[in-house]
Structure 1
Amino acid sequence: MYPMRANVPAIVDIGQINIRPPEPLPNNLKSLLDEATKPVIYVNLKGASVDKKLRDTFVEAMSELPYEFLWNWELQLPGKPKNVVIRKMLPQQDILAHRNVRAFITQGDIQYIDEAIAARVPLIGVPFKPKQVSDVQRVENLEIGRKIDPATITKIELKNVIVEVTESARFKKKLKKLQNILFDKPMSGLASAVWWSEYVIRHQGARHLRSPAIEMTYVQYLLIDVALVLILAVCVVLYLSYKLLSLIFKKRPTKKIKTN
């Protein structure tokens, strides 16, 4: 999901370490999702991050939409609509893997985005922190979801975004392609983390993988000594050129103009 970057052998990209195979849901959640006659939208927005204005906007928009909402919410929800179910500490990955869950509203933490990609569930990002803003913007750029601004979103705009993400097939198509790329690996992220940890232990720190730059001083690493030599050489050339031109123009004979 992040742009490619050059790494030394000592840096191993693990990725998706939090992803695990789905497990059976508790009976109450399983029956709730299995028996849903409308598309289910899973919401994970913490009460500590959502102010009253944004909360009321969500509640009003949800009450007017033809969907069921399962909200991971730890507080009371005044004015809760009939199509909204609130629970605490929900098994998020298992819920996202359910066939009736059609969209995921989240604050945009990278682990949550990975879980949505693994389950091929389109995202609606509601970022509150700078890192979440950049990650949710990347979600929108990849066309696997949409971003909304929690400070300015209106009920009408929120409803339109939820309907678009839930009903449009283009997000699912992009998710399928991205999921195939991210998870086409010889081993899972967790298995890779375990293997490389054991590798470092087996080889007493794996110093052979470390970059030689670690042992260099800042002068050597930044090539400051080389830069100083080049700057000095340029200064010498400019000084000699100046002196040479000064001598040439100084010895150049001047013509006298005869006057009658």
Structure 2
Amino acid sequence: MPVLGLLVASLRPESANAGSGWWTVFTEVFTRPAELTLANYGELLSDRAMLGSLWNTVLIAVPSTVLVVVIGSLAAYALAWISFPGRDWVMTGVVALLVVPVQVALIPVARLLGAVGLYGSIAGVVLFHVGFGLPFAVFLLRNFFVGIPRDLLEAARMDGGRELMIFWRLVLPIAVPALASLAIFQFLWVWNDLLVALVFADEGSAPITVALRGQLRQFGANVDVLATGAFVSMFVPLVVFFSFQRHFVQGVLAGSTK
């Protein structure tokens, strides 16, 4: 119902949203059929500030997702199948980092990014999301990788395969469901983030969530702008989720049965 209400509000003009609730459109569909319009979306797509914030969201979410998947899969494979001193302690540290809240690191990381000149930039926001996304990524993928039969990897090593080649040609194709699940989790977290963007992004690098918050602060009654922007912001994650839904379900259920 909230999603339906958001969609209807985004299709109504400002006067209609100010005069009555969105649910009245169903009772007035025959008396006022022209009330629903795509004009709000046209105005949104012609707003350079909103388009810029939407593009910033893409520039933040896509690299954050790709880096977490790539680095997390490499680290998870090493922790699962490569013996090195202190491996168990490293895995313990990864698990311990899962319980660290984001709020604890806001001020220290802000000072660090300011010292290296990345505070207020898209790169700084991406680095923060990558840092806090890696513990979960390593934990999830490592638990999936340990379920791969050892005989399969040993046979590849006996055939002369190096670890990187085994990882690339053997492990990654098997781990596609887990990788898709991780990518969906990370993408949705980053795309819908507001707190980190408020702290680390300036006006030129702010994502769509910060832009919508700014609209709410400046024009508390512009439901047509807020509803349209919110629905566009929600539409992209929905497309990503339903596009990878089959892999997502497989990845979530991976390892649950033997």
Is the pair's TM-score, using the shorter chain for normalization, greater than 0.5? no
* Structure with the higher fraction of residues in helix conformation: 2
Question: TM-score under structure 2 normalisation?
Answer: 0.22
| TM-score, length basis structure 1 | 0.21
Greater C-alpha Rg: 1
Task: Give 1 or 2: higher strand fraction.
Answer: 1
